[in-house]
A and B are shown apart, each in its own frame.
Chain A
C-alpha cells in the first residue's frame, strides 16, 4: 500500500537551536499518528513542517496526491501547496482564534472552504454548514452568530467543522484539546473519535496529553529535544515503553 504521507529525514533549525531533527515515518490511509513529548521537544515544529507552514531545512515530505501520486510538498510550488491546504489537508490549531475568522459568522466560517473551491450556490453552502454544525453538536440556530459569542469548546468544535467540511484526506491537529476544561476536553475527544471513525480520517495529532493519544492514535511517536526517541503502536509504547524518557513520561502520568 502507498503511504498517504512519507516523511524522510526532516530537520528544521532555528539558527543553532534544533527545532526537530532527522524525523522519518510513514502514515498510511486511515491511520492516526500521535506525537507526544514535553514542551519544547519540537512537536509543533515538526507538524508545521509537514503541513507546509514551515519549510524544513532538509528532508522530504511526500504526499500521495489525487492526480500525480507521491509528490514532495517541500519542493512543490506555493500555489500547489496552498491548494492542498484548502482541499486535501486540514489544520486544527490549539487556539481556535488562529484557525477561525472571529469576525465572520459560524456559517461563514464553515462555508469559507467550500467557497474557496468555487461553491457559488448560497443555499447549498448554507445547507452544508448547517449539517456540519449539527455534526459537531452546535445547534442550527447559532449559524449566524460569530465565534466570539461561543465558549472555548464550541469554538474548537466549530474549527473542526470548518476543517472537515470539504472532506480532507489528511488532518493535522496541534493540541486540539489544550487549554480546555477537563469535562469539555472529554466531550471534544469523544466527538473527534466519532468523526475519525466515521470518516475514516487520516490524522497527525500533537499533544502532551497521553489520554488523548490512548483514545485517538493508532501509532505513537515520542519526541525529546527535537529527536524521535521511540515509535510504535500506541498500546505497545504506553504499556511497555522501551526508552528511558518514555518510561518517565508514562510513569509520571500514571502517578497523577
Chain B
C-alpha cells in the first residue's frame, strides 16, 4: 500500500482519459480533446504520456520507459520510479518483458506484440500547426480532409534542401483518413507504426489524445517523384554489429573520432548477450 491512489490519478480522471483513449482507437489518428491534469512534473517531461500510462496500467503490468531509445536518462528513470511508487507495478528494461511501454522519440527495434501497449509522449499533436496557426482552421481542415497544406510543407523542404529534409515527426496518413503527427520519432521508425500492439499518443499541454489500433494502415506522405525513405546512418552498430537498427553518432575523442551505436539500448544489449559484436565492441564481461 502507499499514500497515492493507484497510478496517482483518481479513478474519475482515469475513466475520463480511458474514454478519450477508446474514442481515439475508434477513430484512428483523430485528436481527441481531454482535460489534462496537473502532474507532479513539468510539461515537456511527458505529462501527456504519463496520464495515458496511468489510465491503462493495471497492477499486473510490467512497465518500461524509453527516452530517445535509452532506459537510463533522468527523464526515463523518473517516470519509471513514479509508477513504481504510485502503482507498485514491476518495471523492466527488456522490451519483450514489458506490457506497457512509455516512449519519447523512438519505437523499439524489436517488433511489439498484440498484448503490448506503446504510449508516446507528444509535444505538438497538430501536424498542420507549422503552416496554419489557427486551431479553428486546422480542425476544419481535418474534418473536411483538406490536407493540401501538409504537402506544401514537404514542397518547401524539397525546394530548400533538394530532398524531403523532415527527419523527425514525419507526417503520416492513418487508415486513409486522418493526417497525424507520429511525435518526434525519426522517420526511420515510421514503417514500424503499422504494428501488432496498440499505440496511444498523449499531449499534456495541448490536451489531446490520439491512437493507432493494431494492424492499422499508416502511410508516410510524399511526392510521386520524391518517395518517402526511412533513412538512417549508413553504418552498422560499432557495438553489436546490427545493420538494421537506428544509430546514434557519438564523438569519442578530441580528434573528431566517432562511433555509431544502436539508439535502442535494450536491443543492443540483447544482441551482444547473444554473442554479436561490432568493430569496436568490448567483450561483455569486461564492461560489467
Contact = CB atoms under 8 A, between A and B. Distances in A.
A123 B224 CA distance: 9
B225 A101 contact: no
B160 interface: yes
Q: Give the interface size class of chain A.
A: 20 to 34
B41 interface: no
Interface in A103-155: 103-105, 107-108, 111-113, 115-118, 120-123, 125-126, 143-144
A143 B148 CA distance: 19
Contacts, number: 55
Interface in B127-178: 131, 144, 146, 148-149, 151-152, 155-156, 158-160
A104 B131 contact: yes
Nearest to B158: A122
B159 A126 contact: yes
A115 B155 contact: yes
A235 interface: no
Contacts of B160: 105, 144
A115 B152 contact: yes
A117 B158 CA distance: 19
Interface string B226-253: 1000000000000000000000000000
Contacts of A144: 159-160
B43 interface: no
Contacts of B131: 101, 103-104
Given A104-B131, A120-B224, A125 B155 contact: yes
Given A120-B224, A122-B223, A108 B144 contact: no
Main secondary structure of the interface of B (DSSP, over half): helix
B152 A104 contact: yes
A117 B151 CA distance: 11
A111 B151 CA distance: 9
B103 to A, nearest CB: 31
A121 B144 contact: no
Given A103-B131, A104-B152, A123 B225 contact: yes
A38 to B, nearest CB: 33
Interface in A12-26: none
B148 A108 contact: no
Interface residues of B, number: 16
A79 interface: yes
Contact of A112 (B152, B158, B224): B152
Contacts of A118: 148
A240 interface: no
Given A108-B152, A111-B152, A116 B225 contact: no
A82 interface: yes
A113 B148 CA distance: 8
A107 B158 CA distance: 11
A78 interface: yes
Contacts of A101: 131, 152
Interface string A76-115: 0011001000100000000000000101110110011101
Contact of B144 (A79, A112, A115, A122): A79
A103 B156 CA distance: 10
A33 B23 CA distance: 50
A228 to B, nearest CB: 33
A108 B154 CA distance: 10
User: Which of A79, A108, A126 has its CB near the most chain B CB atoms (within 10 A)?
Assistant: A108
A123 B155 CA distance: 10
A221 B224 CA distance: 47
Interface string A48-80: 000000000000000000000000000000110
A240 B225 CA distance: 59
Contact of A116 (B148, B158, B223): B148
Contacts of A123: 225
A112 B148 contact: yes
Contact of A115 (B148, B158, B224, B226): B148
A49 to B, nearest CB: 20
B155 A122 contact: yes
A121 B148 contact: no
A115 B226 CA distance: 14
User: Which of A107, A115, A143 has its CB near the most chain B CB atoms (within 10 A)?
Assistant: A115
A111 B223 CA distance: 13
B159 A107 contact: yes
B209 to A, nearest CB: 26
30 contacts: A78-B144, A79-B144, A82-B144, A82-B146, A86-B146, A101-B152, A103-B131, A104-B152, A104-B156, A105-B156, A105-B159, A108-B152, A108-B155, A108-B156, A108-B159, A111-B152, A111-B155, A112-B149, A113-B148, A115-B148, A115-B149, A115-B155, A118-B148, A120-B224, A121-B223, A122-B155, A122-B158, A122-B224, A122-B225, A122-B226
Interface of A: 78-79, 82, 86, 101, 103-105, 107-108, 111-113, 115-118, 120-123, 125-126, 143-144
Please name the 6 residue pairs, one residue from A and one from B, whose CB atoms are nearest each other, closest first.
Answer: A116-B148, A115-B148, A115-B151, A122-B223, A121-B224, A79-B144
